[in-house]
Amino acid sequence: MNISVDSMKHSPSAPWAQKLADIQPLLQVRGLTKLYGPEQGCQKVDFDLYPGEVLGIVGESGSGKSTLLSLLSGRVLPDGGELIYIRGDGEQVEVYDSSEAERRQLLRTEWGFVEQHARDGLRMDVSAGANIAERLMAQGVRHYGYLHDSAAEWLTQVEIDASRINDLPRTFSGGMQQRLQIARNLISKPRLVFMDEPTSSLDVSVQAKLLDLIRSLVRKYQLSIILVTHDLAVARLLADRLLVMQRSHVVESGLTDQILDDPQHPYTQLLVSSILQA
Ligand SMILES: Nc1ncnc2c1ncn2[C@@H]1O[C@H](COP(=O)(O)OP(=O)(O)OP(=O)(O)O)[C@@H](O)[C@H]1O
């Protein structure tokens, strides 16, 4: 079950409220700011992300979604603000105080990143199996049989026939490449996965299948996800909570259903009504 702090606020005396208070956030974001120009980027973003939560970042083109995702994944450094990640061993990491090598290591182990275009997240010149096994190898696994079997198992999990293990990703369809990218990220059991418009480059029918797969993997592995999407239907299907961005600011945040069914900020109202009219 995904747990959302916002939902807990409505019944503070519930027995599980104390339980939640004992759960540490996975990520604490405070005052995160990166500006490339006036209102270009993101400003003063604050939120906590809890284990198993799916957070969607939505907003119009240029509102700052990708900038925020790049900051949260430590790929870009901010002008100001703090990003604290609680590692699996309980240690707190101030991501921006870490070295570049430490941040890269996080992205290869406890975190994952699913790119919008599979070619940016896959190595197109090596086999599907090698693409999937790479993260295990980066963690020091050397046993060929284990690497092969794990890669084959993950191909099956993302609904690709394991007989394709030696094929190059370029021989796969767009949807298969995205599924391969997901397998490549999930094999090392990351705790937090960043996704940048993971379905937007695909046909609608392929999108629906991939969304179903992501949803089932999120449940199965209790993944925490931070997902950028311009598509409110994708947000509705996957996200527990949303941040709505406009011109570098988070203008509204809360439970997905609350925001989509009863938007409070005029910009969110416009965003939601434009989708309904489309
Ligand atoms: N590396 C960069 N150098 C200069 N300006 C940038 C850079 N990255 C982003 N920007 C600017 O910051 C603003 C926000 O861009 P960003 O890509 O974060 O928006 P977005 O909401 O993800 O848009 P889209 O949905 O179109 O991808 C834009 O005005 C963009 O031109």
In a domain, 159, yes or no: yes
Centre of ligand 1 to C-alpha 19, Å, is: 39
Q: Decide which of 160, 188, 216 is a domain's last residue.
A: 188
Average pLDDT over residues 84-92: 93
User: Is 60 exceeded by the pLDDT of residue 13?
Assistant: no
Query: Are residues 151 and 199 both part of a single domain?
Result: no
Domain match, 67 and 197 both: yes
Tell me the residue type at 223.
Answer: L
Tell me what pLDDT residue 14 has. Answer: 57
The verdict on residue 115 lying in a domain is no
Q: Quick one: three-class SS letters along the chain?
A: CCCCHHHHCCCCCCHHHHHHHHCCCCEEEEEEEEEEECCEEEEEEEEEECCCCEEEEEECCCCCHHHHHHHHCCCCCCCEEEEEEECCCCCEEEHHHCCHHHHHHHHHCCEEEECCCHHHHCCCCCCHHHHHHHHHHHCCCCCHHHHHHHHHHHHHHCCCCHHHCCCCHHHCCHHHHHHHHHHHHHCCCCCEEEEECCCCCCCHHHHHHHHHHHHHHHHHHCCEEEEECCCHHHHHHHCCEEEEEECCEEEEEEEHHHHHHCCCCHHHHHHHHHHHHC
Q: Is the shortest distance between the CB of 78 and ligand 1 below 6 Å?
A: no
State CA 98 to chain mean position distance.
Answer: 21
Query: Could you tell me if residue 26 is inside a domain?
Result: yes
Which pLDDT score is estimated for 208? 87
> Residue 3: its pLDDT value, please?
39
At which of 130, 162, 188 does a domain end?
A: 188
- Kindly state whether residue 117 falls inside one of the protein's structural domains: no
- Taking the centre of ligand 1 as the mean of its atom positions, its distance from the CA of residue 62, in whole angstroms, is 5
- 49 & 158 share domain: no
Looking at the predicted structure, is the pLDDT value of residue 16 above 80? no
| Atom of ligand 1 at shortest range from CA of 67 | 18
Mean pLDDT across 31-52? 97
Nearest CA to ligand 1 atom 13: 40
**Among candidate residues 168, 188, 208, the one where a domain is terminated:** 188
Ligand 1 pocket, 61 CB below 6 A? yes
**Are 134 and 90 found together in one domain?**
no
Whichever domain contains 198, its CATH number is 3.40.50.300
Residue 223 belongs to a domain: yes
Does residue 97 sit in the same domain as residue 169? no
Is the same domain home to 194 and 270?
A: yes
Give tens-digit pLDDT for 223-254: 999 999 999 999 999 999 999 999 999 999 99
Same domain, 137 and 238: no
Amino acid of residue 195:
M
Ligand 1 centre to CA of 54 (Å) is 23
Both 222 and 170 in one domain: the answer is no
Note whether residue 39 is domain-resident: yes
Structural domain count of the chain: 2
Please give the Cα distance from 34 to 42 (Å, whole number): 5
Question: How far is residue 110's CA from residue 91's CA, in Å, rounded to a whole number?
Answer: 13
Whether the CB of 230 sits within 6 Å of ligand 1: yes
Question: Is residue 251 domain-shared with residue 209, that is, in the same domain?
Answer: yes
Q: Is residue 116 part of a domain?
A: no
pLDDT digits (tens, 9 = 90+) for 148-192: 999 999 999 999 999 999 999 999 999 999 999 999 999 999 999
Domain ranges, residue 74: 5-110+190-277
CA distance 111 to 106: 6
Are residues 222 and 194 located together in one domain of the fold?
yes
36 touches ligand 1 (CB under 6 Å): yes
Task: Quote ipTM for the complex.
Answer: 0.97
Answer whether residue 266 shows pLDDT above 70: yes
Rounded to an integer, what distance in angstroms lies between the CA atom of residue 235 and that of residue 238?
A: 5
- Mean pLDDT over 251-260 rounds to 96
Q: Which residue out of 61, 67, 231, 245 has the highest number of ligand 1 atoms within 8 Å of its CB and is therefore the one to mutate?
A: 67
Q: Are residues 105 and 224 in the same domain?
A: yes
Reported as a pLDDT band with limits 50, 70 and 90, residue 1 is very low
CA distance 113 to 205: 23
Cα 106 to averaged position of ligand 1 atoms, centre (Å): 24
Domain membership flag for residue 23: yes
Do 184 and 197 fall into the same domain?
no
The residues facing 32 across adjacent strands are: 45
Q: Given phi > 0 = left and psi -120 to 50 = alpha, else beta, which region is 195?
A: beta
